[in-house]
Every structure is written in structure tokens, then in C-alpha cells.
Amino acid sequence: MSGRTLALESELNASELIALEEQYGAHNYHPLDVVIARAEGAWVEDVSGRRYLDFLAAYSAVNQGHCHPAIRQAMVEQAQKVTLTSRAFRNDQLPLLYRDLHALTGFEMALPMNSGAEAVETALKAARKWGETVKGIPANQAEILVASGNFHGRTIAIVGFSSDAQYRSGFGPFAPGFRAIPFGDIAALEQAITPHTAAFLVEPIQGEAGIILPPDGYLAAAAALCRRHNVLLITDEIQSGLGRTGKLFAFEHEGIRPDAAIIGKALSGGFYPVSAVLASRQILGVFHPGDHGSTFGGNPLACAVARAALRVLVDEDLIRRSAELGAHALQRLRGVSSSRVRQVRGRGLWLAIELHQPARPICEALQQRGVLCKETHETVIRIAPPLVISREDLDWGLDQIEAVLTA
């Protein structure tokens, strides 16, 4: 390392920063060419000082808004005390997070991790171990059912059961023990269950697929079917949970309670990677010391941040705001008269505009008008602003969408 130096921070313009990113970074994303330097609430600001209304909320990770002062204060205070102990020792924040999660969600136990994908992997391991040690499935024969169109993360195991060809291409061979069935088809679920089925992993509303809602009653029927066959129902609430759909969890829209729920993203309000699996003592009790872990999972900084993020959801009544503002936004978008629009759908402040044409140019046109959103699956625009957004700002953003779509 002798003689090596790192450049001091200097003022670079957007083009120069983009050029650096393109030169030295792997090209695994296709972002809009806006370089954000600051953010607050529902607004972000680029390096030249231009402001944009955020209609993506970091894929629902900043439900509480950018740089929420209460979460920031909790992070700064905890960072001045202790940030990481590993799980080799106990810390004074983890038990308090456990208590808060139980009080808010009612689940008996939690297992904290970092990213959403890690939490999904944790749930998969728990389901397999439960299947073998509790249900009595023969060793190495447990099967987990998933839904086609799913998105649960980017690990080798997870992309192995994706139905998106790009997510799988070049990454095989994949782990066995997973089978995909059509999303929203209760008959297909019933037909797929065998004595070796340990769990059914499903998004209550499919996010990356384009905010796809299953038929009414699907989750309730799936829960009853899983209960009858002694199969765990695991809901992935990483994007749909913590207020995004107008309920604490999307599964609450059908009055069910899954055996396990996976949360992440907004669990930290965008300050720090925090995720968790929530479940009963019987399910998470299958783990014993040494079975599973993470150096950073459950660290005191993460726990302090997560506790503050949960308090903001409750204290600022963001779940109710999501329901009310989401209903208003859905009504407005469905009232837009444009031949470009094929369908508008969603729940809470999680909406999709499906087009008859590629969505990327529409997102780029919206960027020019000061609104940031992102396409998915070529023809779908996702609308997911921070839940703290004011009705006035929301309406201004919807005005820009209507103007672009009807231009």
C-alpha cells in the first residue's frame, strides 16, 4: 500500500460523477441519470440544487421519509455509545427491539438480520428445519412452494426459484427443494402440496412484478389450506409491510395471520440495513446456537434505529395516512384519460400504472418535470412515495403524471 493515496472530496458535477460510476462500478443497475446529494421528507435534491418529488421511496425503504429527524437522532446517539458487539455478547438495544416488535406485531419471536434477502434466507432455513424436526419430513426432502412472478431477493438460492429468466441466466446450478406455482391460484396451491411440503412463501402483493394483487380471498384460502395440511404460510412483507398498503402488514387486508412474516426496508426508515423474521416460538425455536447467525444482525446501532423507525410509524399515524392518501391517489390515477394506460392498480400508497408502451421514457419525462419514479417489467410505473408526503405534494406529483400521460 506504500505510496497509494485517495483523492480528497471535491465538487464534481453530475456528468463527472456519472462517468466515475460507469467507469469503476459494476453495471448491475440502470438508474435514472439524476445524482442525488441531499434529501428530506418526500423531496430529494441533486448535486446542482434542483429538487425532485420522490415517488419511489427507495422501494419502500423510506416510508418514514428521507432523513427523519427522530430516527437520525436515535442513530447519532447510539453511534456515540456502541455500534457493534457481534452476537458473541449481549447488548442493551436488542432486547428492547424484540419487545417493541412483539408489542406492535403480536408475533412471539423475532430473528434480526441485515438485508431483506438475508431475512428471506433465514425464513427458508427455519422452514426446512421445522419441516424436518417438527413436521417429520425425511432428511433433505423438505420442499418449499413459491409463487410465479415472485421477487424475494438476489441470492443464489432465491434467484433459483425466480420465474424471471434474467434473474436466473448464468447463475446456475441452483438449490433444489423449491417449486413455483401460479400466483393467485388456490387450486394450484392445493394440488402442489405433498407430505414433503414444509412451507409456502408468498408476497401478499407482488411488488417487483408490478404491484400485482391476488384475487380477493386468496390469502385467506391459502392460510386455511396450509393450516389443514400442516404447511407453514410465510409472507414476504419486505416491501408491502410497515404501512405501505394502508395496514401494518398487507396480509391484514384479509384478516389472516401467517406462521411467519419477513420484514426489512422501512424497518430502519432508510438509515441502516435492518431486517427480521417474525414467527412463533415453535418455528424460530428450531434454531440452536451455531445453527444460523450474522455478525451485524441485531447490532445495537441497527436495533436503536429500528426502534425509532417503528415509533415514527405509530406516533405519526403513517399507516392511516397511507390508506387515505392511497385511496385518493388511486382514484385520481384511474381518472386519467390516456390511450397509453392499460391499467391502474394498487393498495395504499403502493400503486402501479401499466402502460401499452415502454415505461422508461415516461419515467424520464417525469424526471424532467421534477418527479422521480421507476419502471419495472418494461411497461409498469411504480408509485410509492414516502408515507409522510403531504396531500398537496402528492397532488402536484399526480398532476405531473397526468400531464405526461396525456401529452
Q: Do residues 112 and 303 lie in contact, with contact meaning Cβ atoms separated by under 8 Å? A: yes
**Any idea which residues carry the catalytic annotation?**
151, 236, 265
